[in-house]
Amino acid sequence: MLTHWVRDRAREGRMGLEEVVHGQTRATAAMYGFMDRGLLKPGYKADVNVIDFSNLHLRAPEVVYDLPTEARRLVQRADGYLTTIASGEPILENGVPTGALPGKLVRGAR
């Protein structure tokens, strides 16, 4: 989204960075009723990505077998994500996972 629609698109239809970030954060959180997410604000839950926008690059998709049953899944990694902070804890530094997993799985009603 950030590379194709914001940075690299040469013809009409290019989107603004702020518009895309809002759509992927606050607008999506509000649509699903998570009113304490999507903004950097005291008391809100937030994950933060520090991105080197000019060096953001998608790698080729690859199949990995890392699920508990060794089932396959398709992943597409990206370069240019410098740091990711989840629940106040760095989980990615200089593009390398730290091993920390502070997040929680959010499930729907059962």
> Would you list the domain boundaries of the chain?
1-40, 46-99
Per-residue model confidence (pLDDT) at position 71: 96
Per-residue model confidence (pLDDT) at position 106: 77
Per-residue burial over 37-67, b = 16 or more CB atoms within 10 Å of its CB, e = otherwise: bbeeeeeebbeeeeeeeeebeeeeeeeeeee
Rg (CA), the chain: 16
- Which residue in this structure is represented by tokens 């390398």? 96
Per-residue model confidence (pLDDT) at position 45: 87
Count the neighbouring beta carbons within 10 Å of the beta carbon of residue 88.
10
Per-residue model confidence (pLDDT) at position 95: 87
CA distance 19 to 47: 18
Q: What is the DSSP letter of 60?
A: P
Mean pLDDT per 10-residue segment, the chain (110 residues): 94 94 96 94 90 96 95 95 93 94 80
Per-residue model confidence (pLDDT) at position 46: 85
Per-residue model confidence (pLDDT) at position 48: 94
Count the neighbouring beta carbons within 10 Å of the beta carbon of residue 69.
6
Per-residue model confidence (pLDDT) at position 73: 97
Residue 16: C-alpha distances to residues 3, 40, 50, 99 (Å): 11, 20, 18, 33
